[in-house]
Amino acid sequence: MKIYRELEAITDSFPHACVTIGNFDGVHLGHQMLFAEVVQRAYRHQGTSVAITFDPHPLQVLRPEGIKLISTCAQKIELISHAGIDVLVIVPFTTRFSATSAVHFVDDILVGRIGVKELVVGYDYAFGKGRTGNIEFLQAQGQAKGFPVTVVDAHYEKGMLVSSTKVRELIAAGQMAEARRLLGRFYQIRGEVQRGKQRGGKELGFPTANLHLDVEDLIPKIGVYVCQVICDGTCYGGVLNIGYNPTFGEEKLVAETHIFDFNQDIYGKPIKVNLLQFLRGEQKFAGVQELAAQISRDVIQAKEVLAVQQGVLTLSCEEKFNS
């Protein structure tokens, strides 16, 4: 997949460009349906499938409180690439760009620079200053300027609307199975392993790989999770604690993963952690022994969950599911 991080880098329009536009946060099943439609239409005409997205997310610029994102830009790129898109255009979103009118976007970007021949959008998509570039506007522009507009209907999974907003709600509530149903994969956090207080191994007997979490990130429900860890292309089971270590009187938010059957020095290495199931909320224990006993019970329960889900976990270890 060819990636353009600024519009000026596109010097020639693309052959029979079939285009979709969106923020695509989380690249959930609804987004994947858009990409599949674009890829199929481009294939029929031996053309180019093009996705246009924005970084940072427009709401991070337009709203002071911002938005909690399901996926980083790097994750989004990987997932869109797996969808088979030929060209990804990442438009730098600024307050100045937010003033771009819908007509200007169509004329100068879609038609003038991309060379759109077909446009595919979601049922609720709107863009441009004041979100004036709605479906009705796009259909009128397409009719006037010679590109058909296909609108992909809302997608439901077991009666639940697939949307980035709903996925965020499910993750914040610790409902990982439901989030996976809408994403089409496990929800994942990732980062480089950092040095912590090293209590896990020395005091508790359960060494952990620690990842930094920012309060500005989308934080899953505080507590303990069954997880799958991908490190150096190999998958392991584990238990993940997201919280503040109340037993030790700390206030810093941490993500600590005890990886099963693992004994390697991975400080500074990147890992990916898939969250499978919420086990319990965070608790304050009377001391180290009581906490260690509870972790032992968590490990037993987590291994039972992993054994039941072995088939799904094997699939998720394939590279295309590791994003």
Q: List active site positions.
A: 256
Alpha-carbon distance values, 314 to 104, 137, 207, 234 (Å) = 48, 45, 25, 11
Q: What distance lies between CA 216 and its chain's CA centroid?
A: 15
Residue 293 and residue 243 in contact, taking contact as beta carbons nearer than 8 Å: no
Residue in the structure block whose two tokens are 């509870």: 294
Residue 39 and residue 84 in contact, taking contact as beta carbons nearer than 8 Å: yes
Burial grade of 294 (CB within 10 A; 0-12, 13-18, 19 or more) = middle
Dist CA 221 CA 152 (whole Å): 32
Q: Provide the token pair at 168.
A: 């965020």
Dist CA 174 CA 160 (whole Å): 16
User: Taking CA 226 as the corner, what is the angle to CA 315 and CA 212, rounded to the nearest 5 degrees?
Assistant: 100
